[in-house]
Amino acid sequence: SPSIFLLATLLITSIVSISTGSSWTTAGTVGIALMGIAHGLGIPAPLTAGIVVSGAYFGDKMSPLSDTTNLAPAVAGANLFDHIRAMVWSTGPTYLIVAAICVFLGMRYAGGALDAEKISAMQQMMKAEFNIGLLGFLPPLLVIGLAVRKAPAIPGLFAGVLVAAIMSAVQGNGIGDIIDAIHYGYGASVSGEFAGAEGEALLNMLSQFNLDIAPEMATEVGGMLSELVSRGGLDSMMWTISLIFCALFFGGVMEACGFLETIVGSITRQVKTVGGMMGSVIGTCFLANLFLGDQYLALVIPGRMFKTAFEEKGLAPRMLSRATEDAGTLTSALIPWNTCGAFQSSVLGVATLAYAPYAFLNYLNPIVSIIMSYMKIGIYWRKEDGTDIVAKEKP
């Protein structure tokens, strides 16, 4: 029903972004498709774009496959899955609020028809590309299950890769193909060919795979699906890893010269509460996005700046990484000249400042995080034995 389209948009983009770990990929694929469906239903483009951005950045923030989700704890000195569990405290309630808003706003819209042709084309091409079945959920469910059971990040991710490799071998892929996919990521085969085919070659492919799809639709859907699944691999993380090294070098120089101590000291001297400390980090991350124009710098610089201050306050590193993600990751899409805001605007066809008021998750999450910190909810403290505990006051 069109009345639940906004909620469905939020859920679909959230699932895709959690699965891929990328807000850019999500917005550039299913986000574009959902924008087209919304146009047919008469739902305003800025509203739809805002919900797409909310769902896309939910997954970008919470997925263990996301580069920002790995970068933030690496800078703060936290464990990956500890970091994700800490974010649930602030992101979980915010997501429920956004879902409720989607339901409320969706009631205003009725009528229209879904783009059944594009949905059917996507389903047919996915069946041609993959052997689809419930077993395909096993690798991601295994990773999520191990994370819930507090398994270390590296063994948990390796277990998912191992199971996925075995399943790939069972489906007929050779060891060389599997190793290439692990290193360089998956490259779409069938959908990639459709994306670049035309004329008689396109018609022959439709006949070969027995697809009941119009040629123009096959090319469009092939491009969307190819862009969605052609990603991943160790090679795709090299840039993020190099940035982590640069951040460590930069932070070391700043610390050795006493710059961080001077900057942070002037801030922390005025801060007496946990809420004030979290608010300072969130505000700094937003300003970094505003003036530096890059999401990664908004995670790296505040993370290095406040690391020692959080240790002195007795707060667990996951609190710092949570604060940097609550603002550094999410507010980047709200600023027109930030790389994230510019990209989302370009692929969705809506000005950043036009969709920003409807990107509810992106600006409500930092607010909820600060409020919860002042209410002393979900506060992790670092004990003397090196373990973390949730408590209202320092143990």
Q: What is the pLDDT along the chain (395 residues), one digit of tens a residue?
A: 678 899 999 999 999 888 878 888 788 778 887 887 787 677 898 999 999 999 999 988 998 888 889 999 999 888 888 999 999 999 999 999 999 999 999 888 765 555 677 778 878 888 888 777 788 778 877 876 776 676 776 787 788 889 989 988 888 888 998 999 888 888 878 888 888 888 888 888 888 888 888 888 888 888 877 876 776 678 877 766 776 677 667 666 766 787 766 776 777 777 778 888 899 999 989 988 888 778 888 898 888 888 888 888 889 999 999 999 999 999 999 998 888 888 888 888 889 999 999 999 999 999 999 999 999 998 999 888 878 888 888 77
Instruction: State the Cα–Cα distance between residues 150 and 38, nearest whole angstrom.
Output: 40
pTM check: above 0.95: no
For residue 98, CA distances in Å to 45, 258, 368 come to 18, 42, 12
CA dihedral of 86, 338, 245, 388, whole degrees rounded to 10: -10
Token representation of residue 203? 């018609």
- Residue 199's region, left for phi above 0, alpha for psi from -120 to 50, else beta, is left
Instruction: State the Cα–Cα distance between residues 303 and 310, nearest whole angstrom.
Output: 10
- List, as own/partner pairs, every contact residues 336-341 make where C-beta atoms lie below 8 angstroms and the sequence separation is at least 24, other chains included: 337/293, 338/289, 338/290, 338/293, 338/294, 338/295, 339/293, 339/294, 339/295, 340/23, 340/24, 340/295
Q: Which amino acid is at 78?
A: A
Contact criterion met (CB below 8 Å) for 334 and 341: yes
Indicate the angle between helix axes 45-62 and 360-374, nearest 10 degrees.
Answer: 50
Instruction: State the Cα–Cα distance between residues 2 and 4, nearest whole angstrom.
Output: 5
Token representation of residue 336? 């027109």
Compute CA 189 distance to the chain's CA centroid, rounded to the nearest angstrom. Answer: 25
